[in-house]
Structure 1
Amino acid sequence: MSKYKCVIFDCDGVLVDSEPISNQIIVDMANDLGADTDFDYAMKHFKGSHFKECIDKISKLVTQPIPDSFEATYRARTLEAFKKDLKPIEGVIEVIENLKLPFCVASSGLESKMRFNLDLIGLLPYFEGHIFSCYTIQKWKPDPSVFLWAARTMGFKPYECIVIEDSILGVQAAKNGGFDVFGFTAHDYNKELENEATKIFKDMSDLLEML
């Protein structure tokens, strides 16, 4: 019997394989403004962050002012790219279909983006009514508020929940809220999660047994 009563999933990089797509787009847009950056930088510094934090970091790299249209252009380009290329994280659909515990998703992304992406990969019906966005409460990881809100709404205490995260900010947020957290390391290129998460795993197919 699992020690946990509820599973809280991050979205990008845990349910949907969106991080490579969105980070490459933001790199390309930053470089168009004179930044000399690359995909590895983005995965280290942007993954798990909300967009305003990314913009703050980009502003220190570019040689031209960031236009007011930057965010709208970025979101339009990512949505088009998601329509063409977005896939579920390998093995995650089987996890969701066979998970016997209550579960939800809590992310730094916009709720509209989460719904769009989950719908694209066929998982939205599983999460209806259980979608929690940092934008709703205007508090972002590593602040634990989104996880605390999710747990409370689902009817559980933090110690009864397990958070599934792929970013260091997300792992820190979970720990700050008193949650155990499993770090999904398939895209943990800098090995940031190894000494931070309660446990780590590289293959989503291992998650059900871990639970």
Structure 2
Amino acid sequence: MNYKCIIFDCDGVLVDSETISNQVVVDLANSYGANITLEYAIQHFAGTSLSYVKSHIEELIQQDLPDNFEKDYRRISFERFQQDIQPIQGITELLDELTIPFCVASNGPLNKMKLNLELTGLLHYFKGNLFSAYEIKKWKPDPTLFLYAAKTMGFQPKDCLVIEDSISGIKAAKSGGFDVFAFTNKHKKEVFEKENVPSFSSMKAIRDALK
């Protein structure tokens, strides 16, 4: 495959953070009476913006969340990341083998990306090529973040491959004119089949596909 650049999502693709962050959402949401499970959170919130998560929870509880919800979520999740975050199995081997430029584009804030990549020993691979939706105020499934990342890296969408693990990220990549690989897990495999994109359950499989 003759790609010139790879754009990685962060959560669930580079770092195994989704279970951690979604459990924090569940705990906070349930403290306000949402009565949701981790499976529910992963299904509905993975790859979305925090503003969407807040709106969804407010619909469930039929009232506004307090102003400190985001502050509490960031504080608790960052504490959990420092205790439990791990790199996705096989990602370091993939990054070590890449001979083309690559970057990361995430719906999360830049300080979250930097923290989790540093905690997992991955930050040095990206040489500052970190792109956050918070920088441009456009969140997936809007394709603007991927378009911004590709342009900044010096490439056209047709030259880039996006590696994503969420429906919103896949839709953003496809609508922006990018090829996309879906990195699957037990929560998402059946959902990704409807998107008609190549899907892989391991980083080794992605490495093999890129050879």
- Report the TM-score when normalising by structure 2: 0.96
**CA 1:123/1:88 → structure 2, altered by over 3 Å: closer, same or farther?**
same
**Structure 2 counterpart of 1:96:** 95
Query: Are 2:83 and 1:73 aligned?
Result: no
Query: Are 2:21 and 1:22 aligned?
Result: yes
List per-residue Cα deviations over 1:140-184 (Å, max 9, x = no partner): 111100100111111111011000000000000000000000000
**Structure 2 counterpart of 1:31:** 30
**Structure 2 counterpart of 1:207:** 206
**Structure 1 counterpart of 2:121:** 122
**Structure 2 counterpart of 1:46:** 45
| Cα distance between partner residues in 2 of 1:129 and 1:155 | 15
List per-residue Cα deviations over 1:49-85 (Å, max 9, x = no partner): 1100100000011266411111111101000000010
Runs of 5+ in structure 1 lacking a partner? Answer: none
| Cα distance between partner residues in 1 of 2:187 and 2:34 | 24
The equivalences for 1:81-92 within 5 A come to 81-92=80-91
Equivalent residue of 1:40, what SS? helix
1:166–1:188 contact (8 Å) kept in structure 2 = no
Equivalent residue of 2:193, what SS? coil
**Structure 2 counterpart of 1:62:** 61
- Once the two structures are TM-superposed, the CA of residue 91 in structure 1 deviates from its matched residue by 0.6
Structure number having the greater helix percentage = 2
Equivalent residue of 1:193, what SS? helix
1:140–1:146 contact (8 Å) kept in structure 2 = yes
The equivalences for 1:105-120 within 5 A come to 105-120=104-119
1:16–1:87 contact (8 Å) kept in structure 2 = yes
**CA 1:9/1:56 → structure 2, altered by over 3 Å: closer, same or farther?**
same
**CA 1:32/1:178 → structure 2, altered by over 3 Å: closer, same or farther?**
same
Higher deviation after alignment, 129-138 or 180-189: 180-189
Provide the aligned C-alpha RMSD in A: 1.2
List per-residue Cα deviations over 1:115-163 (Å, max 9, x = no partner): 0100000111111221001110001111100100111111111011000
Equivalent residue of 1:169, what SS? helix
| Cα distance between partner residues in 2 of 1:181 and 1:204 | 14
**Structure 2 counterpart of 1:189:** 188
Query: Which amino acid in structure 2 is aligned with residue 151 of structure 1?
Result: A
Query: Which amino acid in structure 2 is aligned with residue 30 of structure 1?
Result: A
**Structure 1 counterpart of 2:131:** 132
| Cα distance between partner residues in 2 of 1:160 and 1:62 | 45
Runs of 4+ in structure 1 deviating by more than 4 angstroms, as ranges, are none
The total of aligned residue pairs comes to 210
List per-residue Cα deviations over 1:31-53 (Å, max 9, x = no partner): 01011111111111110011001
